[in-house]
Amino acid sequence: MRFSKKLLIANWKMHKTLAETTDFCEALVPFVSGQNVKIALPFVNLYPMIEAFGSKMAFGAQTVSEHPEGAFTGEISAKMLDGIHAAFCIIGHSERRKLYHETDAMVAKKLELLLANNIQPVLCIGETFEEKESGQTLFVLEKQLLSAVLPVKDKMTQLVVAYEPVWAIGSSKAATPEEVNQVLSELSQLVQKKIGSLKLILLYGGSVSSLNLDSFLNSHLVDGVLVGGASLDFETFKNFLR
Ligand code: PGA
């Protein structure tokens, strides 16, 4: 079983109705037993899945408000996620940063609120193609990571961080395992130097597929994967869990 020790987080983004989500999860349940499998769902599908299958699989959100509560039409707070027993929440996904203009300061607030409400954060960081080409990868990752983590470093002992190069997401061009190893090892050293007490649980995300999954999981630096597109297909998801 691939995910008895390593972690698989599926990010379903804005896909699947409640009926489609229910059918998928119901069929998936027999295959997840004994494995670390989590699915990040759109808000409307989250509570029904926690109610129906929450004892078998972990479900979480894809984002959260940076405000604790108030007049923020359309937003969902960390306290509300805690109220439905969401297991985790993704923050700082590059689609949120780019399409919804989320800044490092907003991501830092989200992290703080999730910790205050006992929801496990999954912090996404990643460089664009231009940043990679101009040799700025580590600089960008350091800024995204430390701006979120430093203000709350005394409030946690470990953190799940997903390294998702923006150029690899939804592009069918995953980073190579060598590239991922290089970045993760530099990141680990950086965190060790700046916040020795924090243990990072490092995921790779960006065009993970049945073809390249094992090349990432075989690395001792990779604790798991964050999968978008490939996790939407039932047969592919099932094969991942072999
Ligand atoms: P992808 O998405 O697997 O479709 O590249 C990953 C993500 O955005 O988390």
Q: What is the pLDDT of residues 154-200, one digit of tens each?
A: 999 999 999 999 999 999 999 999 999 999 999 999 999 999 989 99
Q: Which residues are catalytic?
A: 93, 164
> What pLDDT is attached to residue 138?
97
Instruction: Provide the whole-model pTM.
Output: 0.98
Task: Report d(CA 77, CA 75) in Å as an integer.
Answer: 7
Mean pLDDT across the chain = 97
| Ligand 1 pocket test, candidate residues 7, 11, 233, most atoms within 8 A of CB | 11
Which atom from ligand 1 is nearest to the alpha carbon of 13?
8
Measured from CB, residues less than 6 Å from any atom of ligand 1 are 11, 164, 169-170, 205-208, 226-230
> What pLDDT is attached to residue 209?
97
pLDDT tens, position by position, 28-84: 999 999 999 999 999 999 999 999 999 999 999 999 999 999 999 999 999 999 999
